[in-house]
Amino acid sequence: MKKIFLFIILFFTFITTTKALDIRLSTDKPTYLRYEIVSIYCDSKEASSLTPLSYRCTAQLFFKNKLIKTVGETFQITLRYNPTSKKWEGYWPIPWNPELGEYKAVVVLSHGNNKASSPVFFKITKREPPALPPGFCVMNIEPGESIIQHVPGMDGKTVKLWENYVLWANFMGASAMWHCVGQSQIWNNFDPENFPWAKQSLNQVSPIGAECHKYGIKYGAWITSFVMPGNRQDLSPYALTTGYNEADDTLKPMIYISIKDDKRIADITALVRKLNENPNVDYIGLDYMRTDFGGYEYVNEFVSEMPLPNLPVDWETLSKDAHMLWLGKKIQKEKDMKVTELWQWWRAHKMSQIIKSIITNAGVTKPMWVFNLTWKQGKQHGQDPLMFIDAGISMNGGMFYSIDKIGYPIMINEWRDYLLAGQTSLVVGQCVDWNLLGNTLVPSGPEEHYLRQKLAVDTLLPVNPSLGLFWHDLTRAFMASTSGPFNELEWAITGATSFSYLREKQNYFPFKVRWDLPDRVAQGEIFTVEIVVTNTSNKPMDYHIKLFNPSDIEMFGNIVNRLKLLPGEEKTINFQIRFNKREWNKENMTMIAFMLQCGSSQTQQKYFDFKYIKVEEASRLHHLVPAQVLQSNIIQENSFKITATAEGLSGQ
C-alpha cells in the first residue's frame, strides 16, 4: 500500500513539473445508481485546436484515496476524442455491489511532456427497496389448470378449476400467490388471436385475485418476458437473440427474444400497465429478464461503452457478423475472463435500463419483482439483483435451484457475502422438482426441498432481515416427471413447513410448539406422537391441532384437536397412530405431519411441521418400538382413519 501511495505522489509531482494544459472535467450527472455507467468528459481548448487525436487521455478512479478496480480487471480507462463535441469522452462501469459514497476520477491529458491532470467528483448511491412484511411467503403457480386437483378433503365441494390454486395457497398458509399469466408460445397450432399472451390465463386474473383476497392472500401476476418456446419461431413477430456455436464458429438464433426488440418491450409494457390498473392484482412480476448466452446483436453498443482491451486493429472495417463472431469466440471459446466479465456487467446494465423503462412507461405503482438466477447472482446471464433494485423493482425473486447438493451450500455462502456488502428485499425460492433435488430418497425429495430453504433462512436472514420464501410451483407437485414418488400433499406440507420455519425465526407466532415421535416404527404397530403447545402471547388464545399423513394412517382413542390456553400456559396433546403399509419406492420412509392454527382462520397463523419415519417389518418390532408406545389396552373399535382437508383434518 505504501508503494502505491509513493507512486501516486511521484506521478503527480512529475505532472506538475511539466508544461500544464488548461483542462476542464465533468461527468454527465453528479450521482449514479449501481446499474449506471459513469460518463467522464475532458475539455481543453488549447489541445482541441491543435491535433487532438495525437493526445492521450486516461482516467483512474479512487474511493477514499484508494485506487479502484472495476469489472474486467480494469484499473484505468481511456477517453476518446469526439470531434463533434470537441471533448474526450470515457465510460467507467461501476463495480459489482460497490461501496457507496463519493468517488474521484483523476484524468490525465498528455502529449509528450505537455500534460495536465485534474480530479472530478461524483457519488454512487442506491435505491432502498421497501421491506418485506414479516413472514412473507409465496406459493407459485405456472399454467397447469387441467392437472391441479382439489386439496384433499375438498372432493365433495364443487369448485372452478382455478379455485384449486387459491385453496392450495390457503392450505399452505401463503401470504401471497404468484401466478404466471403472460407467456408467449408459437407451435404448429399457432393462433394469432391468442398471441402474444394466452387469453385463458389473462381472463383468470381478476377472479383469481378477488378469490385470493377473500382468504387474506395477496395476488401477484407475472410475465415470461424474453423467451418464446415453440417449434414455429419463423412465425414470430419478434427478433430472436443471436448466440454463438463454438463447435463450428458460427452464429445461431435462439429461442430467447432479443432485448433490442422494441415491439417486445412495448408488448410487455402494455401488459404491465394493464396489470397495474387491475385492483385485484397486488404484485407484478417479470421472469426471463435475460437472453441466456445470447445477445451478441448488441456487440457494437457494448464495444463503444466498455473499456475493452485489444480490439482487432481492423475492427472498423469488419462486418456486424464478424463483430458478433469475435465476441462469441472471446467469451465462449477462448474463455477470456476480462471480456466475459465486461459483457456480463454490460448486459445486466442494459437489462436494468429496460426494467426502468418498463416501470416508467407503464406507470407502475404496485410492488414489482423480477425472478433472478442465483449462481454467481445471475451474472453469467446478464443479471444482478442490486442493479435491478436500483432500476425500480421492489424485491428479487431468487431462484435458488438447478444446483446439486454439494454446490448449494457454496452458493448460499456466496450470497451471504454478497448481501453483507449490499442488502435487498429477497424472496428465496426452491423448485418442486425431484430431479433438480438430486432424485434423493433419504432424505426424501420434499425433505431436501425443506432443508435447502432452511439453510437459506439460517444463512441469509442474519445479514438480510428483509427475507421471504417462495415455493415453485403447484403444477410441478402434480406432474409425475417432477414430483417423483412423492405426492402433492408431501410437497405442499414441506413447503408450508419452510414457511413456518422462516416465520418462527422472525418471531411471528404468538406460541411455541414442539413435538416428539420415534425415528422408526414397525408396520402395523402403534406409536405415540406428543405435541406440546405454549401460549407466548399476553392474552388467552384458541388453537386447532391437525395431523396429516399422505399415506394410510389410523388413530386410536379420542381425537383432541382443539384447545384454549391462557398466557404462558402449556399443554401436551398425544396422538396414538399406526402405519398400515410400507412404501418401498420411498425407501420405506413415510411422512407424518401436523398443523397448528392459532386464533382465527387467518392463513399466516398456520404452523406446520413434518417428519419422515422409517417403517420396518413387523417382525422387527421388539427392536424398534419403545416400550411406552406399546399400548396393549387400546380398544381397536375406537379407531379413526385420518384424511386431510382444506382446513386440516377430518375423522371418519
Chain segment 194-222, per-residue pLDDT in tens: 899 999 999 999 999 999 999 999 999 99
The reported pLDDT for the residue numbered 288 is 96
Number of H helices, E strands in the chain: 15, 30
Copy the grid coordinates of residue 189: 397450432
Query: 580 near 552, Cβ under 8 Å?
Result: yes
The reported pLDDT for the residue numbered 649 is 35
pLDDT band of residue 600 (cuts 50, 70, 90) is low
pLDDT tens-place string over residues 302-318: 999 999 988 999 999 99
pLDDT tens-place string over residues 567-576: 999 999 998 9
pLDDT band of residue 603 (cuts 50, 70, 90) is low
**Same topology for domains 2-124 and 511-651, yes or no?**
yes
- Percent of the chain at pLDDT exceeding 90: 77
Q: Coil, helix or strand for 530?
A: strand
Fold for 2-124, please state it: Immunoglobulin-like (2.60.40)
Query: 513 near 522, Cβ under 8 Å?
Result: no
Query: 594 near 608, Cβ under 8 Å?
Result: yes
Q: 183: left (phi > 0), else alpha (psi -120 to 50), else beta? A: beta
How do beta strands 511-516 and 526-535 pair?
antiparallel
**Greatest CA separation found in the chain?**
107
* Residue 634 or 197, more confident: 197
pLDDT score of 9 more than 80: no
Q: Map out the domains of the chain as residue ranges.
A: 2-124, 137-239+255-292+345-505, 511-651
For the stretch 385-388, contacts whose Cβ atoms lie closer than 8 Å and that sit 24 or more positions apart, written own/partner, are 385/424, 385/426, 386/34, 386/97, 386/126, 386/422, 386/424, 387/34, 387/35, 387/348, 387/349, 387/352, 388/35, 388/289, 388/351, 388/352, 388/355
Whole-model pTM: value is: 0.90
DSSP-derived secondary structure letter, 486: S
CA–CA separation, 649 vs 425, rounded Å? 35
What is the CATH class of 511-651? mainly beta
pLDDT tens-place string over residues 242-297: 999 999 999 999 989 999 999 999 999 999 999 999 999 999 999 999 988 899 99
pLDDT score of 636 more than 60: no
CA–CA separation, 258 vs 239, rounded Å? 6
Which CATH code is given to the segment(s) 137-239+255-292+345-505?
A: 3.20.20.80
The reported pLDDT for the residue numbered 628 is 41
Query: 610 near 494, Cβ under 8 Å?
Result: yes
The CA distances from residue 458 to 19, 420, 467, 511, 572, in Å, are: 61, 14, 11, 20, 28
